[in-house]
Amino acid sequence: MQLLVNVDHVATLRNARGEGYPDPVEAAEVCEQAGASGIVFHLRKDRRHIKTDDVHRLKKHVNGTLDFEMAATNEMIKISKAVAPDLITLVPESREELTTEGGLDMEVVYDDFKNRVFPAYIDTDIAISLFIDPNEEDIELAAELGSDAIELHTGTYANAETEEGKQKELDRLKAGAKQAHELGMKVNAGHGLNLDNLRPLVERVPHLHDISIGHALVSSALYHGLDETVQKFLHIMRTTKQTTT
Protein backbone atom coordinates (compact mmCIF):
# COMPACT_ATOMS: atom_id res chain seq x y z
CA MET A 1 0.00 0.00 0.00
CA GLN A 2 1.36 3.40 -0.84
CA LEU A 3 0.47 7.02 -0.14
CA LEU A 4 0.14 9.36 -3.12
CA VAL A 5 -0.31 13.00 -2.17
CA ASN A 6 -2.61 15.16 -4.26
CA VAL A 7 -1.04 18.64 -4.51
CA ASP A 8 -3.97 20.44 -6.21
CA HIS A 9 -4.72 22.59 -3.19
CA VAL A 10 -1.19 23.85 -2.85
CA ALA A 11 -1.86 25.34 -6.28
CA THR A 12 -5.25 26.64 -5.10
CA LEU A 13 -3.48 28.65 -2.40
CA ARG A 14 -0.87 29.90 -4.84
CA ASN A 15 -3.49 30.98 -7.38
CA ALA A 16 -5.45 32.91 -4.74
CA ARG A 17 -2.82 35.64 -4.96
CA GLY A 18 -1.41 34.99 -8.41
CA GLU A 19 2.06 34.54 -6.95
CA GLY A 20 4.55 31.75 -7.59
CA TYR A 21 4.22 30.35 -4.06
CA PRO A 22 3.39 28.00 -2.51
CA ASP A 23 4.66 25.87 -5.37
CA PRO A 24 2.97 22.46 -5.88
CA VAL A 25 6.23 21.10 -7.27
CA GLU A 26 8.21 22.13 -4.18
CA ALA A 27 5.41 20.64 -2.04
CA ALA A 28 5.64 17.41 -4.04
CA GLU A 29 9.35 17.22 -3.30
CA VAL A 30 8.75 17.70 0.45
CA CYS A 31 6.05 14.98 0.40
CA GLU A 32 8.35 12.53 -1.34
CA GLN A 33 11.19 13.30 1.05
CA ALA A 34 8.79 12.67 3.94
CA GLY A 35 8.06 9.19 2.57
CA ALA A 36 5.13 9.55 0.17
CA SER A 37 5.39 7.10 -2.71
CA GLY A 38 4.18 9.51 -5.31
CA ILE A 39 2.12 12.51 -6.32
CA VAL A 40 -1.32 13.05 -7.82
CA PHE A 41 -2.63 16.12 -9.57
CA HIS A 42 -5.85 16.90 -11.40
CA LEU A 43 -5.48 19.14 -14.43
CA ARG A 44 -8.99 20.47 -14.85
CA LYS A 45 -10.43 21.95 -18.02
CA ASP A 46 -10.73 25.34 -16.30
CA ARG A 47 -7.18 25.14 -14.78
CA ARG A 48 -8.57 26.32 -11.45
CA HIS A 49 -5.61 24.90 -9.51
CA ILE A 50 -2.93 22.95 -11.37
CA LYS A 51 -1.77 24.66 -14.59
CA THR A 52 -0.32 22.97 -17.66
CA ASP A 53 3.15 24.24 -16.80
CA ASP A 54 2.91 22.64 -13.33
CA VAL A 55 2.26 19.29 -14.99
CA HIS A 56 5.48 19.43 -16.97
CA ARG A 57 7.45 20.53 -13.90
CA LEU A 58 5.93 17.75 -11.78
CA LYS A 59 6.95 15.22 -14.40
CA LYS A 60 10.51 16.52 -14.17
CA HIS A 61 10.75 16.57 -10.37
CA VAL A 62 8.62 13.69 -9.06
CA ASN A 63 10.66 10.51 -8.52
CA GLY A 64 7.90 8.14 -7.40
CA THR A 65 4.56 7.32 -8.97
CA LEU A 66 3.02 10.21 -10.91
CA ASP A 67 -0.76 9.95 -11.22
CA PHE A 68 -2.41 12.36 -13.69
CA GLU A 69 -6.08 12.70 -12.78
CA MET A 70 -8.15 13.96 -15.70
CA ALA A 71 -11.41 14.02 -17.60
CA ALA A 72 -11.20 11.92 -20.77
CA THR A 73 -11.23 14.85 -23.18
CA ASN A 74 -9.11 14.89 -26.32
CA GLU A 75 -7.15 17.83 -24.89
CA MET A 76 -6.25 15.89 -21.72
CA ILE A 77 -5.43 12.74 -23.65
CA LYS A 78 -2.97 14.75 -25.74
CA ILE A 79 -1.33 16.42 -22.75
CA SER A 80 -1.11 13.19 -20.74
CA LYS A 81 0.51 11.33 -23.60
CA ALA A 82 3.09 14.09 -23.99
CA VAL A 83 3.82 14.08 -20.24
CA ALA A 84 3.84 10.27 -19.88
CA PRO A 85 2.92 9.84 -16.20
CA ASP A 86 2.99 6.36 -14.68
CA LEU A 87 -0.77 6.39 -14.37
CA ILE A 88 -3.79 8.33 -15.53
CA THR A 89 -6.93 8.28 -13.42
CA LEU A 90 -10.02 9.07 -15.44
CA VAL A 91 -12.68 11.00 -13.56
CA PRO A 92 -15.99 12.65 -14.42
CA GLU A 93 -15.70 16.42 -14.41
CA SER A 94 -18.32 19.14 -14.50
CA ARG A 95 -17.59 22.82 -14.51
CA GLU A 96 -19.81 23.79 -11.58
CA GLU A 97 -18.59 21.21 -9.07
CA LEU A 98 -16.31 22.19 -6.17
CA THR A 99 -14.57 18.82 -6.40
CA THR A 100 -15.10 15.52 -8.18
CA GLU A 101 -18.57 14.52 -7.07
CA GLY A 102 -18.74 10.82 -7.74
CA GLY A 103 -17.35 8.00 -9.78
CA LEU A 104 -17.72 7.45 -13.51
CA ASP A 105 -21.00 5.96 -14.73
CA MET A 106 -19.42 3.12 -16.64
CA GLU A 107 -22.52 2.28 -18.63
CA VAL A 108 -22.61 5.82 -19.99
CA VAL A 109 -18.91 6.09 -20.84
CA TYR A 110 -18.27 2.47 -21.89
CA ASP A 111 -18.54 2.76 -25.68
CA ASP A 112 -16.62 6.02 -25.84
CA PHE A 113 -13.85 4.68 -23.61
CA LYS A 114 -13.67 1.48 -25.64
CA ASN A 115 -13.53 3.17 -29.04
CA ARG A 116 -11.72 6.46 -28.37
CA VAL A 117 -9.99 6.62 -24.98
CA PHE A 118 -8.37 3.23 -24.32
CA PRO A 119 -7.05 2.85 -27.90
CA ALA A 120 -5.27 6.22 -27.50
CA TYR A 121 -2.97 4.67 -24.87
CA ILE A 122 -2.27 1.33 -26.53
CA ASP A 123 1.16 2.40 -27.77
CA THR A 124 2.20 3.88 -24.40
CA ASP A 125 3.44 2.60 -21.03
CA ILE A 126 0.82 4.67 -19.20
CA ALA A 127 -1.43 2.60 -16.94
CA ILE A 128 -5.13 3.48 -16.79
CA SER A 129 -7.25 3.68 -13.65
CA LEU A 130 -10.98 4.45 -13.55
CA PHE A 131 -12.46 6.38 -10.64
CA ILE A 132 -15.66 4.55 -9.76
CA ASP A 133 -18.08 3.95 -6.96
CA PRO A 134 -18.01 0.46 -5.46
CA ASN A 135 -20.83 -0.84 -7.69
CA GLU A 136 -20.64 -4.36 -9.04
CA GLU A 137 -21.72 -3.41 -12.57
CA ASP A 138 -19.26 -0.49 -12.85
CA ILE A 139 -16.37 -2.69 -11.69
CA GLU A 140 -17.38 -5.40 -14.14
CA LEU A 141 -17.38 -2.93 -17.04
CA ALA A 142 -13.99 -1.51 -15.96
CA ALA A 143 -12.54 -5.01 -16.20
CA GLU A 144 -14.19 -5.62 -19.58
CA LEU A 145 -12.48 -2.48 -20.88
CA GLY A 146 -9.12 -3.90 -19.78
CA SER A 147 -8.45 -1.21 -17.20
CA ASP A 148 -5.23 -1.72 -15.22
CA ALA A 149 -6.76 -0.37 -12.04
CA ILE A 150 -9.78 1.19 -10.47
CA GLU A 151 -9.79 3.93 -7.87
CA LEU A 152 -12.62 3.32 -5.44
CA HIS A 153 -14.47 6.51 -4.62
CA THR A 154 -14.33 6.81 -0.83
CA GLY A 155 -16.27 10.08 -0.65
CA THR A 156 -19.57 8.48 0.36
CA TYR A 157 -17.79 6.64 3.18
CA ALA A 158 -16.01 9.83 4.25
CA ASN A 159 -19.24 11.83 4.30
CA ALA A 160 -21.43 9.23 6.02
CA GLU A 161 -22.92 10.88 9.09
CA THR A 162 -23.79 7.83 11.17
CA GLU A 163 -21.73 4.89 12.34
CA GLU A 164 -24.19 2.60 10.59
CA GLY A 165 -23.75 4.53 7.34
CA LYS A 166 -19.97 4.32 7.61
CA GLN A 167 -20.04 0.56 8.23
CA LYS A 168 -22.37 0.08 5.27
CA GLU A 169 -20.00 2.00 3.01
CA LEU A 170 -16.97 0.07 4.29
CA ASP A 171 -18.79 -3.16 3.41
CA ARG A 172 -19.46 -1.87 -0.11
CA LEU A 173 -15.82 -0.78 -0.52
CA LYS A 174 -14.62 -4.15 0.73
CA ALA A 175 -16.84 -6.04 -1.72
CA GLY A 176 -15.73 -3.74 -4.56
CA ALA A 177 -12.05 -4.20 -3.72
CA LYS A 178 -12.39 -7.99 -3.65
CA GLN A 179 -14.26 -8.04 -6.94
CA ALA A 180 -11.76 -5.78 -8.70
CA HIS A 181 -8.82 -7.80 -7.36
CA GLU A 182 -10.37 -11.05 -8.53
CA LEU A 183 -10.86 -9.51 -11.96
CA GLY A 184 -7.14 -8.74 -12.09
CA MET A 185 -7.20 -5.00 -11.51
CA LYS A 186 -5.17 -3.00 -9.01
CA VAL A 187 -7.28 -1.37 -6.33
CA ASN A 188 -6.64 2.28 -5.51
CA ALA A 189 -8.81 4.47 -3.30
CA GLY A 190 -9.35 8.12 -2.60
CA HIS A 191 -11.53 11.14 -1.91
CA GLY A 192 -12.35 12.68 1.43
CA LEU A 193 -9.81 10.64 3.38
CA ASN A 194 -8.34 12.14 6.53
CA LEU A 195 -6.47 11.26 9.73
CA ASP A 196 -9.70 9.98 11.34
CA ASN A 197 -11.27 7.88 8.61
CA LEU A 198 -8.15 6.36 7.04
CA ARG A 199 -7.52 3.68 9.68
CA PRO A 200 -10.96 1.99 9.48
CA LEU A 201 -10.64 1.93 5.68
CA VAL A 202 -7.21 0.30 5.78
CA GLU A 203 -8.40 -2.17 8.43
CA ARG A 204 -11.46 -3.31 6.52
CA VAL A 205 -10.76 -3.00 2.80
CA PRO A 206 -8.32 -5.54 1.31
CA HIS A 207 -5.93 -5.23 -1.67
CA LEU A 208 -5.44 -1.46 -1.41
CA HIS A 209 -2.56 -0.23 -3.57
CA ASP A 210 -2.45 3.57 -4.02
CA ILE A 211 -4.23 5.77 -1.49
CA SER A 212 -4.73 9.27 -2.88
CA ILE A 213 -5.14 12.06 -0.33
CA GLY A 214 -5.23 15.79 -0.94
CA HIS A 215 -7.49 18.30 0.76
CA ALA A 216 -7.30 17.04 4.35
CA LEU A 217 -3.55 16.50 4.11
CA VAL A 218 -2.79 19.96 2.73
CA SER A 219 -5.17 21.49 5.31
CA SER A 220 -3.52 19.68 8.22
CA ALA A 221 -0.12 20.74 6.88
CA LEU A 222 -1.06 24.39 7.56
CA TYR A 223 -0.95 23.59 11.28
CA HIS A 224 1.63 20.84 11.49
CA GLY A 225 3.82 21.20 8.42
CA LEU A 226 3.80 19.10 5.29
CA ASP A 227 6.58 16.78 6.35
CA GLU A 228 5.02 15.93 9.71
CA THR A 229 1.54 15.56 8.19
CA VAL A 230 2.70 13.13 5.51
CA GLN A 231 4.39 11.11 8.24
CA LYS A 232 1.17 11.03 10.29
CA PHE A 233 -0.75 9.57 7.34
CA LEU A 234 2.06 7.09 6.67
CA HIS A 235 2.11 6.06 10.31
CA ILE A 236 -1.57 5.11 10.10
CA MET A 237 -0.98 3.12 6.93
CA ARG A 238 2.02 1.31 8.42
CA THR A 239 0.59 0.53 11.83
CA THR A 240 -2.87 -0.67 10.79
CA LYS A 241 -3.23 -4.36 10.22
CA GLN A 242 -4.79 -4.72 6.79
CA THR A 243 -7.27 -7.47 6.18
CA THR A 244 -6.49 -9.88 3.36
CA THR A 245 -9.97 -11.30 3.06
Alpha-carbon distance of 163 to 99, in angstroms, equals 24
| Least separation in angstroms between CB 135 and ligand PXP | 16
| Minimum distance from residue 48 beta carbon to ligand PXP (Å) | 11
Q: Are 131 and 100 in contact (CB under 8 A)?
A: yes
Residue 218 CA, distance from chain mean position: 15
Interface pick for ligand PXP out of 212, 226, 229, 233 (rule CB under 6 A): 212
Q: Looking at the annotation, which residues are catalytic?
A: 42, 69, 191
State in angstroms the smallest separation of the CB of 119 from ligand PXP: 23
Q: Can residue 219 be called a binding residue for ligand PXP (CB under 6 A)?
A: no
Q: Which of 66, 193, 198, 208 binds ligand PXP (CB under 6 A)?
A: 193
Task: State the DSSP string of 29-71.
Answer: HHHHHTT--EEEEE--TT-SSS-HHHHHHHHHH--SEEEEEE-
Ordered alpha helix ranges (H), the chain? 8-17, 24-33, 52-61, 74-83, 106-112, 118-120, 136-145, 155-159, 163-182, 198-204, 215-224, 226-239
| Cα within 13 Å of Cα(71), Cβ side | 15
Q: Is 138 in the site for ligand PXP (CB under 6 A)?
A: no
Residue window 149-178: x/- pattern of binding to ligand PXP, with contact defined by CB under 6 A = --x---------------------------
Stretches 106-114, 134-142, 185-193, 227-235: which one binds ligand PXP (CB under 6 A)? 185-193
**By C-beta, is 123 or 237 nearer to ligand PXP?**
237
Give how many residues touch ligand PXP by CB under 6 A.
Answer: 19
Least separation in angstroms between residue 85's CB and ligand PXP is 14
5: β partners: 39, 213
* Nearest-10 crossing angle of helices 226-239, 24-33: 40
Cis peptide before 22 (omega within 30 of 0): yes
Query: DSSP label at 114?
Result: I
Query: Taking CB under 6 A as the rule, which mask of x and - marks residues 12-51 in contact with ligand PXP?
Result: ------------------------------x---------
Give the footprint of ligand PXP on residues 97-136 (CB under 6 A).
99-100, 131
Shortest Å, Cβ 123 to ligand PXP: 25
Q: Which residues bind ligand PXP (CB under 6 A)?
A: 6, 8, 42, 69, 89, 91, 99-100, 131, 151, 190-193, 212-216
